[in-house]
Amino acid sequence: MNTLELILICFGMYMIVSISWSVAGMFGAPWVPTPIWVVDRMLKMADLKEGETLVDLGAGDGRIVIWAALRYKAQAIGVEIDPLRCLWANIVIHVLGLGSRARVIYGSLYETDALPKADVLTTYLLQSTNQELSEKIYRECKPTVRVISRTFTFPQFTLVSQDLKRNLFLYKHQQ
């Protein structure tokens, strides 16, 4: 492969990432991955236990789902609108041998039917998306669900704890 081919491949990959980033932004949130050490803090705050089910709305490259299945032995389901990131996440899940515990479903978080399964629900979206989602979460999640959101809040739910250094907010959605 010569230098020109390498530059064209890099440019093509950049275009794919950039187009999918903008498209996802129009749906509910752009892709900004959470560092793994913050993911771990989220799951600790939510007290995720072995065998519980975690749902990550807007799963990106599947890192929360993968970490939950790998380190916490949870059942983990992601929902992701971007087909490339969804494919990538499922490839990594397969390579790590986590297929029995983890998967990322291609689809919209506004239409997912995964919510009733969640013991822990993670979100890192936008304030407006949280706003739109809160009614669906309230209607479809178990009353005992622990909702943990990065950066953006759910003012309608009851705040249980927060980590202001990392902008993490843990909620229960009923009084």
Q: Which residues bind ligand SAM (CB under 6 A)?
A: 24, 27-29, 31-34, 56, 58-60, 63-64, 79-82, 85, 108-110, 124-125
Q: How far is the CB of 57 from ligand SAM (least distance, A)?
A: 7
Nearer to ligand SAM, 27 or 138 (CB): 27
Q: How far is the CB of 105 from ligand SAM (least distance, A)?
A: 9
Residue least distant from ligand SAM (Cβ): 58
Q: How far is the CB of 27 from ligand SAM (least distance, A)?
A: 4
Q: How far is the CB of 3 from ligand SAM (least distance, A)?
A: 32
| DSSP string for the chain | --HHHHHHHHHHHHHHHHHHHHHHHHHT----PPPHHHHHHHHHHTT--TT-EEEEES-TTSHHHHHHHHHH--EEEEEES-HHHHHHHHHHHHHTT-TTTEEEEES-TTT-S-GGG-SEEEE---HHHHHHHHHHHHHHS-TT-EEEEESS--TTSEEEEEETTTTEEEEES--
Nearer to ligand SAM, 5 or 111 (CB): 111
